Chains A and B, each alone.
Chain A
Amino acid sequence: MNPWFMAWRMLRREWRSGEIRIVLLALIVATAGLVSVTALGDRLDQAFEKQGSALIAADLVVRLPNPPPDNFIARAGRRRLAHTLATNFRSVVLYEDQTLLTDVKAVRPGYPLRGELSVSVGAGGSRTVSGPPRRGEVWVDTQLLARLGTTVGRGVKLGRKAFTIAGVITLEPDRGGMGFALAPRVMMNEADLEATGLIAPGSHVHYRWMLAGATREVGAMRQWLQEHGVAEGELEDVRNARPRFRVALDRGARFLSLAALVSVLLSGIAISRATQYYARRHWDHAAIMRCLGATQSEIARIYLGQLVVLSLVGGLLGAGLGYVAQQALVWILPAMVGVDLPLPSYKPLLVGLSASLLAVLGFGLPAVARLRDVPAMRVFRRDIGAVPPRVRVLYGVAALVITGFVFWLADEAELALWILGGTAATLLLLALAAVTMIKALSRWRGGLGASWRFGVGSLVRRGSSTVAQTVALGIGVMGLLLLTVVRTELFNAWDDRLPPETPNHFLVNIQSNQVADLERFLERNGAGVARLTPLVRARLAAIDGRPVEPDDYEVGFARRMVERAANLSWLEVLPDDNKLVAGQWWEPGQWDKGLVSVEQDYAAALGLSIGDVLTYRVADRTFDVRVVNLREVSWDSFSPNFFLIVPPDLLDGFPQSHITSFHLPAERGDMIARLIDQFPNVTDIDIEAVLRQVMRLMDRVNWSLQFIFIFALLAGALVLIAAVQTTRAERRREIAVLRALGAQKRQLRLGLLSEFAALGVLSGLLGAVAAGLIGWGLAQFLFDIPYRWSAGLWVIGLLGGGAGIAVLGYLASRPDIEAPAWRLLRQSE
């Protein structure tokens, strides 16, 4: 006999009997959910990256000390990547008899590769342009016009060459940044560069080589560049260039992972219950086959073969369905998505198929392994021995496999740990509670009416399967609540952090004598009460007495931090959106002491730790500060934040400037021009573009979550159905006997309802407790957002769980109450 062939034949025959359909359905839902979620996540991720790319005008920017060498350019060509070069340097612009230090950017055709560059020429409003200004012309920003008191059409001189101001830059995609000493912008054509005579050997010039193309090609290029001597820190993409966007992106990805993981776990539990049910229904079959001469290994292979075939069929069908579902959604709701979504990679298919195989083997194998050990004697005595040790080992292996899979899927150990830990704790809690409940019920049921006694008595009688059922139902409720109530709360908490009045403009370089006037100006113009934060610009001179030079650092970020002056601000208390990760905040008595609080990434880049003494230089004065604590900063709060904060009285007497942020409604866009006009030295940084991208990203994450929820809901419902189904045969036999003994249908109905309501209330309550705790943990430790305990969770868990499970269980058993008693008796034989 070929057991694999037998497996196939038996599976085909059993298909007609319908028992395996629930296993297959659970598999299809699990795989479809996972594949669609992963595929959609993959596509959104690619789309997010593309949108984010608009913020740096390319998919990848390489900072170089010289123009890219020929082999770099050839490589980019082979990878079919578009590329262009921006040459950045500081130079003085001459207008009539005035001079002004400016940030000059010389660009080539093709700039910007991503995002939009808008230029306003006279009264015609802004228009989107592509490529550099014409030769002999420059585009400038409003600050330059305000500071020099000039207009479009006038001439300026840059080095040896004269230019005409041809337009005002209204949107420059890659300007952003948070270096608070931005000089006014001049953008010119690279072809004019030589004629200015400004670039000579030894000039301080930064080249930004920009690349854009297919995600995979960009990734490959990035790797190639690193292999060819470009340091990681010199490569810039949206993740490392825009921390605000990166935080939002990562948080969005976490939400998607969380939802996908929960729906996989739910489907896994459905598969586990369904395969256990399937296996239990086959104990008799296995015993008969043993009687007919099948060996244990043949039985194992027959059922294992069935599982493998099932997982492949379910996996393929589910993967196909998942692809179609997410594609259909992308077609149906293009307005929601808003951008062309790139096609998903092959990864989701791989994830789906392996998930299907692992889910069936991991969750189903232990149940099927028991079939191997069903004694042939079962044909005479309908009992089966205890779980042999081998099956315990299998459960252990299954748990390990599933743990590994969750870690792989989560891409992030912390999230995986929370989900696995939460699920394991919930399982334990549910099992303990179920055992306690059975004990309590067996003591109290004497005082109940006949129907309730029968219903509750059923729970007590089926002790071990009641525990298994409560656990499965509780996990089902927990998963559903986690994805509905808790998800909504987590998401709203995140959303609340970006209210409509989130600051979209930063003003920097405000002088102390302008503070009062500027505050009045902002208030008068409806920009709300803005908090002006003072800062002193200082250069890091030494760490622990050892002089610091930019050349001491290879990595881009640290090097840049040493190259340029740092912004030191002072505060009495720790801001709300900052969190201490080490050390202590200062007391009022220490306000004049030489202490400093350092942002943790900054500390890590420069290799700083608590107790280090930093020496800073302002003009010709120096001062020492000792690192007393490290901070984590919520960059997504869109408020001014600082790498370095000192106590309030330390920097009295040093030259200081101020910064502020405020929200400017779109209809008051003209205010900035008037502001610059009145305060020409103040620089405005418009972060509306970044903010808009983050908000759009959150919309999309929310939309994707709704979609994933459909699958999770299906998986949750399957868990409930599978859990109810597993005791149906037993219940049918009881109903048959009770009917034969003269029980009324009404009594049986009430009995069933009371049994399932008791189960439902218990699992609903425990599911709500577990969902609340996991939600709190996720909010507190992973998403870093405040969590509000909601009464809705308990109400929905208790009432929804109780009523839902009572109705579901009753509906599943109704045919057995309504069927003629004699037929039931025959079926249950």
Chain B
Amino acid sequence: MKVNERPIVRAEGLVKQVDGPSGPLTIVNDVSLQVFSSESVAIIGVSGSGKSTLLALLAGLDIATEGIVWLNGQCLDALDEDGRALIRARQVGFVFQSFQLLPGLSALENVLLPLELAGRDRADDRAREFLDDVGLLNRAGHYPSQLSGGEQQRVAIARAFAVEPSILFADEPTGNLDNETGGRVADLLFRLNREKGTTLILVTHDPALGGRCTRAMSISDGRLSEIEG
């Protein structure tokens, strides 16, 4: 652990409870963690362990019942929804298990979307560069339904990196892909992560994928513990 450096992501005593049919259900239970710049951290857990909810809390997509999250030194609890959106627009990228491409937009337009939302210059050129980076420039005009699962996830990765975020959150990025395609997509994700110097927080059920990160933690019943490697 880098003691002298300020963490880029920090959480203290995170708790998330939801109302279930038989009373409140604790999904994330007293989680504290620190992630430093350029680290790649895996959060490994089985289905229903609370890993996706934790990711959403860290990224400011959801609000914790208790506890505090800081992103790049900014306390998320002090911000309203629009304030958190601004941080996401400038500093955060996402890769999802189910890709979450907009079906009405072509591959290029999907990559363009966050650039336009962030009001970046030369958006079109940048989108093309990133599509080229993931090897799909020749499919720029294709719609998600015309692309295979692996190709869709590569477009999603291009979209995530296009705004050059300082932190990238990945939720089971290979979960919907076969082993071979999943392996290639993971290669791409880690290569870009290295090249761009992005901090990566990845949640997965796959210990092999988790093992490719510089640090791994496990989550079970909403409790997080460090895996010593």
| Cβ-based interface call for A191 (8 A) | no
In residues 271-301 of chain A, which contact B (Cβ within 8 Å)? Answer: 284-285, 288-298
Q: How far is the CA of A17 from the CA of B143 in the complex (A)?
A: 10
Across the interface, do B103 and A293 meet the contact criterion of CB distance under 8 Å? Answer: no
Name the contact of A284 in the complex, choosing from B100, B106, B116 (C-beta under 8 A).
B100
Across the interface, do A827 and B94 meet the contact criterion of CB distance under 8 Å? Answer: no
| Cβ-based interface call for A380 (8 A) | yes
In residues 65-89 of chain B, which contact A (Cβ within 8 Å)? Answer: 81-82, 85-89
Q: Which residues of A contact B59 (CB under 8 A)?
A: 291
Across the interface, do B104 and A14 meet the contact criterion of CB distance under 8 Å? Answer: yes
| Cβ-based interface call for A610 (8 A) | no
Across the interface, do A13 and B89 meet the contact criterion of CB distance under 8 Å? Answer: no
Across the interface, do A289 and B82 meet the contact criterion of CB distance under 8 Å? Answer: no
Q: Interface readout for A16-37 with B: 1 if CB under 8 Å, 0 if not?
A: 1101000000000000000000
| Cβ-based interface call for B34 (8 A) | no
Across the interface, do A292 and B94 meet the contact criterion of CB distance under 8 Å? Answer: yes
Q: Interface readout for B2-34 with A: 1 if CB under 8 Å, 0 if not?
A: 000000000000000000000000000000000
Across the interface, do B86 and A9 meet the contact criterion of CB distance under 8 Å? Answer: no
Across the interface, do B96 and A13 meet the contact criterion of CB distance under 8 Å? Answer: no
Closest to B57 in A: A377
Q: Which residues of B contact A807 (CB under 8 A)?
A: none
Across the interface, do A294 and B89 meet the contact criterion of CB distance under 8 Å? Answer: yes
Closest to B96 in A: A379
Q: Interface readout for B106-126 with A: 1 if CB under 8 Å, 0 if not?
A: 100100011011110000000
Q: Interface readout for A246-290 with B: 1 if CB under 8 Å, 0 if not?
A: 000000000000000000000000000000000000001100111
Q: Which residues of B contact A292 (CB under 8 A)?
A: 88-89, 94, 113-114, 117, 159
Given known A-B contacts A13-B104, A291-B88, A296-B81, A379 and B61 have beta carbons under 8 A apart:
yes
A702 → chain B closest CB, angstroms: 46
Across the interface, do B85 and A296 meet the contact criterion of CB distance under 8 Å? Answer: yes
| Cβ-based interface call for B133 (8 A) | no
Name the contact of A380 in the complex, choosing from B56, B82, B103 (C-beta under 8 A).
B56
Q: How far is the CA of A291 from the CA of B99 in the complex (A)?
A: 13
Closest to A3 in B: B117
| Cβ-based interface call for B145 (8 A) | yes
Given known A-B contacts A13-B105, A380-B56, A827-B145, A295 and B86 have beta carbons under 8 A apart:
yes
Q: Which residues of A contact B81 (CB under 8 A)?
A: 295-296
Across the interface, do B104 and A16 meet the contact criterion of CB distance under 8 Å? Answer: yes
Q: How far is the CA of A19 from the CA of B103 in the complex (A)?
A: 11
Q: How far is the CA of A379 from the CA of B55 in the complex (A)?
A: 12
A-B contact count (CB 8 A): 85
Name the contact of B52 in the complex, choosing from A13, A375, A380 (C-beta under 8 A).
A380
Q: How far is the CA of A523 from the CA of B113 in the complex (A)?
A: 89
Closest to B98 in A: A829
Q: How far is the CA of A242 from the CA of B113 in the complex (A)?
A: 67
Across the interface, do B114 and A380 meet the contact criterion of CB distance under 8 Å? Answer: no
Across the interface, do B61 and A380 meet the contact criterion of CB distance under 8 Å? Answer: yes
Q: How large is the interface on B (under 10, 10 to 19, 20 to 34, 35 or more residues)?
A: 35 or more
Across the interface, do A291 and B145 meet the contact criterion of CB distance under 8 Å? Answer: no
Across the interface, do A293 and B100 meet the contact criterion of CB distance under 8 Å? Answer: no
Closest to A293 in B: B89
| Cβ-based interface call for A376 (8 A) | yes
Q: How far is the CA of A295 from the CA of B118 in the complex (A)?
A: 11
Q: Interface readout for A801-829 with B: 1 if CB under 8 Å, 0 if not?
A: 00000000000000000000000001101
Q: How far is the CA of A298 from the CA of B109 in the complex (A)?
A: 18
Across the interface, do A291 and B94 meet the contact criterion of CB distance under 8 Å? Answer: yes
Q: Which residues of B contact A291 (CB under 8 A)?
A: 59, 61, 88, 94, 100
Closest to B53 in A: A380
| Cβ-based interface call for A6 (8 A) | yes
A309 → chain B closest CB, angstroms: 16
Max chain A C-beta neighbours (<10 A), residue from B81, B86, B106 = B81
Across the interface, do A377 and B56 meet the contact criterion of CB distance under 8 Å? Answer: yes
Closest to A1 in B: B119
Across the interface, do A1 and B117 meet the contact criterion of CB distance under 8 Å? Answer: yes
A825 → chain B closest CB, angstroms: 13
| Cβ-based interface call for B215 (8 A) | no
Closest to B102 in A: A285
Q: How far is the CA of A1 from the CA of B118 in the complex (A)?
A: 6
Q: How far is the CA of A294 from the CA of B116 in the complex (A)?
A: 10
Across the interface, do A19 and B100 meet the contact criterion of CB distance under 8 Å? Answer: no
| Cβ-based interface call for B151 (8 A) | no
Across the interface, do B103 and A17 meet the contact criterion of CB distance under 8 Å? Answer: yes
| Cβ-based interface call for B139 (8 A) | no
By a beta-carbon cutoff of 8 Å, the part of chain A in contact with chain B is: 1-2, 6, 9-10, 13-14, 16-17, 19, 284-285, 288-298, 375-377, 379-380, 826-827, 829
26 contacts between A and B (CB under 8 A): A1-B116, A1-B117, A6-B116, A13-B106, A17-B104, A284-B102, A285-B104, A288-B100, A288-B102, A289-B113, A289-B117, A290-B85, A291-B94, A292-B94, A292-B117, A292-B159, A293-B117, A295-B82, A296-B81, A296-B85, A298-B117, A375-B61, A376-B56, A376-B62, A376-B85, A380-B171
Q: A1-B119, A17-B104 are in contact. List 20 more A-B contacts (CB 8 A).
A: A6-B117, A13-B106, A13-B109, A16-B104, A17-B103, A285-B102, A289-B117, A291-B88, A292-B88, A292-B159, A293-B117, A294-B89, A295-B81, A295-B85, A376-B61, A379-B94, A379-B100, A826-B145, A827-B145, A829-B98
